[in-house]
Amino acid sequence: MKSKLTSAQFLKEKQKDILETWKKNIRASAGRTFELMTAAQFDQETQSFLAELVKAISSENYEDITRPEYENLLTMLRRISSSRAEQGFTPTESAVFIMSLKEAINTCLGQEIKDPKRLAAEVLVMGNLTDKLALHTFETFVASREKIMKEQAMALEFSNPMIMVWDNLIAFPLQGILDTHRMAKFTTEMLDAITRHQARVVIVDLTAIATMDTATCNRLIQAINAARLMGSEAIITGISPSVASSIVKLGVDLEARTLRELREGIQYAFRVLKLKVVKEVS
Amino acid sequence: MEKRGRASILKIEDFLLATPEEAMHDLAAIQFKDDLLQRVKETKISGLIIDLCRIDVVDSFMGRTIGEIANSAALLGAEVAVIGLRPEVAITMVEMGISLGQAHPLLNLDLALEFLRNQTRGA
């Protein structure tokens, strides 16, 4: 008899349905979630989280999340929410993860339990539990966010390293998490360096940049156009697939030469500067 | 050297080097354009270099005027190179979406001369 099942047993039985509803809910409300993470990552995260939740509540403890059976679940939650903070999710986008699970559980409970009194009781119990988890997510998220902000403030202090590759040729290997602030700072640094070193070619190397949001990409494109106005050619090397797709999503023409790796960039720059590397014949 | 409006215009090799003195208001910019094109016609020079190093603001009108100078000079048979654009000016122009038309931006006077010489030889 289904109606005799406890919430824990019910959840275990309906795990698949809940997972599907949950994923659907997140998709409907999570804004940039899929701009910032891959579908495979997302599937893996939701699936293992739900499995862990089912395991934790199989102890029939819906109240105290400090008990050992919740330890794995909380660790996972902390990892998920701090990685969200790193990937630049907004608080809402992160909270949606747990909030929409609550909705999904409630929907499934509603479909299965016909007795209104019992339904209300179960919804309340599960609701309390997910609220606690949501609060925990939020605390971790804020803590990681603060840590990142401190780190970024420190990173802003340091200027981007510039490499004087050759006369009239400079290179900027960008690294770390690029946001619009850092990109704006980089733009001024790059343009100043162009004047100072009379650089005819500037190589912007993105090998160490895994992702870039569209606003930052837009700034990068502006920097390249500004360099062109000053009479210098900026080329981009080492672009990653996800940065490439951000640029495509922007729908703008990059109008800049993009080359696979730094060495190709240097080769190209040498051609522009009419320089040649010759192997010495011994 | 001769002063027209608020820009100095020098002859160098087979080219003219025009340096606007400071940020121009719209009327001065038109004056600058007319004078310059007149000179291009009179002197039959083959290239024009506009040096913007003294300019700290290029508004949309100024930007368009430079574009117009370039396009008109091309019709008169002279290529236009723009040099000395400051970083902060360049970034503002990009943000405002101002373009320089057919003018060729170049880093410095040396490169501008080299570029114009090559153009003349090619023609």
pLDDT at res. A130? 86
Which residues of chain B are within 8 Å of residue A254 when distances are taken between CB atoms? none
Average pLDDT over residues B85-100: 87
pLDDT at res. A2? 46
Q: Among A5-19, A98-112, A197-211, B96-110, which is the least confidently predicted range?
A: A5-19
Identify the band that residue A69 occupies on the pLDDT scale cut at 50, 70 and 90.
confident
Average pLDDT over residues B89-106: 87
Identify the band that residue A4 occupies on the pLDDT scale cut at 50, 70 and 90.
low
A191 contacts B90? CB cut-off 8 A: yes
DSSP A189: H
B105 near A CB under 8 A: yes
Chain center to CA of B19:
8
Q: Cβ of B91: how many Cβ atoms within 10 Å? A: 23
pLDDT at res. B2? 41
Chain center to CA of A19:
22
For residues A68 and A227, the model is more confident at A227
Q: In A144-251, which ranges are E strands?
A: 163-166, 169-175, 201-208, 233-237
pLDDT at res. A182? 84
| Residue B49, helix vs strand vs coil | strand
pLDDT score of A72 more than 70: yes
What is the percentage of chain A residues whose pLDDT exceeds 70? 94
pLDDT score of A157 more than 70: no
B111 contacts A231? CB cut-off 8 A: yes
- Residue whose C-alpha is closest to residue B84's, from B58, B48, B109: B109
Average pLDDT over residues B53-64: 82
Q: For residue A232, what is the nearest residue in chain B, using CA coordinates?
A: B107
pTM above 0.95, yes or no: no
What is the token pair recorded at A93? 């986008």
B94 contacts A229? CB cut-off 8 A: yes
Find the Cα–Cα–Cα–Cα dihedral A26, A28, A33, A34, rounded to 10°: 110
Residues in contact with A79: Cβ distance below 8 Å, sequence separation at least 6, in sequence order: none
pLDDT score of A247 more than 90: no
Which residues of chain B are within 8 Å of residue A231 when distances are taken between CB atoms? 82-83, 85, 104-108, 111
Q: What is the mean pLDDT of chain B?
A: 84
Q: What is the pLDDT of residues B30-56, one digit of tens each?
A: 888 888 888 888 888 889 999 988 888
Q: Cβ of A231: how many Cβ atoms within 10 Å? A: 24
How far does the CA of residue A195 sit from the closest CA of chain B (Å)?
8
Identify the band that residue B82 occupies on the pLDDT scale cut at 50, 70 and 90.
very high
How far apart CA A63 and CA A101 sit, in angstroms, is: 17
- Residue whose C-alpha is closest to residue A19's, from A107, A78, A79: A107
Residue carrying the six token digits 């008899």: A1
Q: Cβ of A43: how many Cβ atoms within 10 Å? A: 12
- Residue whose C-alpha is closest to residue B78's, from B102, B110, B109, B100: B102
Q: Smallest Cβ distance to B100: which of A188, A194, A229?
A: A229
Q: Among A103-107, A125-129, B58-62, B114-118, which is the least confidently predicted range?
A: B58-62
Q: In chain A, which ranges are E strands?
A: 163-166, 169-175, 201-208, 233-237, 257-259
For B45, the enclosing helix (H) or strand (E) is none
- Residue whose C-alpha is closest to residue A228's, from A208, A202, A262: A202
A221 in Cβ contact with A192 (< 8 Å): no
Identify the band that residue A237 occupies on the pLDDT scale cut at 50, 70 and 90.
very high
DSSP A198: T
Which residues of chain B are within 8 Å of residue A222 when distances are taken between CB atoms? 91, 94-95
pLDDT score of B5 more than 60: no
pLDDT score of A175 more than 90: no
A10 in Cβ contact with A109 (< 8 Å): yes
Average pLDDT over residues B67-92: 88
pLDDT score of B1 more than 70: no
For B18, the enclosing helix (H) or strand (E) is strand B15-20
Identify the band that residue A31 occupies on the pLDDT scale cut at 50, 70 and 90.
low
pLDDT at res. A55? 84
Q: Smallest Cβ distance to A229: which of B85, B108, B111?
A: B85
Q: Half-sphere exposure of residue B80, counting CA atoms within 13 Å on the CB side?
A: 25
Residue carrying the six token digits 């090619």: B122
Q: What is the mean pLDDT of chain A?
A: 84
Identify the band that residue A40 occupies on the pLDDT scale cut at 50, 70 and 90.
confident
For residues B100 and A201, the model is more confident at A201
Q: Smallest Cβ distance to A225: which of B83, B94, B104?
A: B94
B18 in Cβ contact with B8 (< 8 Å): yes
How far apart CA A99 and CA A28 sit, in angstroms, is: 13
Average pLDDT over residues A131-150: 85
pLDDT score of A1 more than 50: no
